[in-house]
Amino acid sequence: MALSLKELSKKEETFVSGHRLCAGCGAGTTFRQILMAAEDPVVMSVATGCLYVATATYPYTAWKCNWIHSAFENSAATISGIEAAYQSLKRQGKVTKTIKFIAVGGDGGTFDIGLQALSGALERGHKFLYVCYNNEAYMNTGIQRSGATPMGASTTTTPAGSASYGKPVFRKDLTGIVAAHNIPYLAQTTPAHWRDLMTKVKKALAADGPSFLNILSPCHRGWRNEMKDSINLARIAADTCYWPLYEVENGEYKLNYIPKEKKPITEWLKPQGRFKHIFAKGGNSAETGSTHRSGPNQELINKLQANVDKEWEKLLKKCNQGDKKPDLETVGT
């Protein structure tokens, strides 16, 4: 399943320029890669969110494929109905070509208000790929916290201040929740690792049943980073093991990337303005909300690092990685 930039450069793109996504937005890069990886015609269901608003404002569109706008909470249910109709038409001999189906939601529409629709579609066994472009908050409606928002992040509904250090709880393990559905294929990746992402899209679309990709998608408006640094931040997320690249194929866990040198979580936190209060003098305690007068909130930094370390060790055991190293040729950075 080799991918080469030379061959990809000859391929007609189906996510095209002219959209209104922010410069430095991870979603545009992500969906360009996803559609370039698809070999068959696709039908997409895209939930309300940044991606929909910025790419499909009537009468303009950046999508050169079959596409439907879905409500915030039910992209998976929408694609389920379309896929079921396709299977019926195939049985009747009215459709003969192979068509693939992709449902899309942000982290708000997936981790939170769309979780029931996603769970139902996975449990029923529809043959489709669900893509969560995960920018870790409700960015389209004002940067409110979501179930994907990391602990300590300052958002408009968990603002850091005199009584708070930001979001007080860890993010939800959505990839783990999806794995519990025992579907044929699921994975985590980022747009910084283009070959890894595109390889996983190919595997997901070829799966004999539902598949799922949780893709970390930088948002400079919500993360408060420099626009030029977005893709690099996605890369640092994997290098710190904050966002491990792994897949679960027919129940077997596999790590796709092990950093040569695991970087400390501070390298991922510091470039982002949503965490700047953690490093400022007078930051708040992770436990009590009391104010530190002397420097960064080391207590919270330690807590975040400990959680990354714990989750990384759990993943290594699931992958039974031992001395085996992943094939770095597949990662593509």
Instruction: Kindly report, residue by residue over 244-254, the tens digit of the pLDDT.
Output: 999 999 999 99
Tokens read off for 100: 């693939």
Range scoring the smallest mean pLDDT among 57-61, 106-110, 194-198, 281-285: 281-285
Distance CA 36, CA 5 (A): 11
Mean pLDDT of 58-81: 96
The pLDDT assigned to 81 comes to 98
Report the pLDDT value the prediction gives residue 296, as an integer from 0 to 100: 84
Average pLDDT over residues 148-168: 95
Q: Are 189 and 326 in contact (CB under 8 A)?
A: no
Cα 117 from Cα 122, distance rounded (Å): 9
Q: What is the pLDDT of residue 281?
A: 74
Indicate the average pLDDT of the chain: 93
Mean predicted confidence (pLDDT) in 85-112: 97
Q: What is the DSSP letter of 291?
A: B
Residue 114 pLDDT grade (very low, low, confident, very high; cuts 50, 70, 90): very high
Does residue 285 register a pLDDT over 80? no
Instruction: Say if residues 323 and 316 touch (Cβ distance below 8 Å).
Output: no
Rounded to two decimals, what is the model's pTM?
0.93
Average pLDDT of the segment spanning 155-179: 96
**Predicted pLDDT of residue 332:** 60
Are β-strands 252-255 and 211-216 bridged in parallel, bridged antiparallel, or unpaired? unpaired
- Residue 293 scores a pLDDT above 60: no
pLDDT of amino acid 3 = 86
* Mean pLDDT lowest among 15-19, 145-149, 257-261, 325-329: 325-329
pLDDT surpassing 60 at residue 185: yes
Task: Give just the sign of the alpha carbon dihedral 115, 118, 121, 123.
Answer: negative
The torsion angle over the Cα atoms of residues 73, 79, 80 and 86, rounded to 10 degrees, is: 160
Instruction: Compute the chain's Rg from CA coordinates.
Output: 20
pLDDT of residue 320: 84
Residues 6+ apart with CB under 8 A from 79: 43, 45, 70, 101, 102, 103, 121, 126, 128, 130
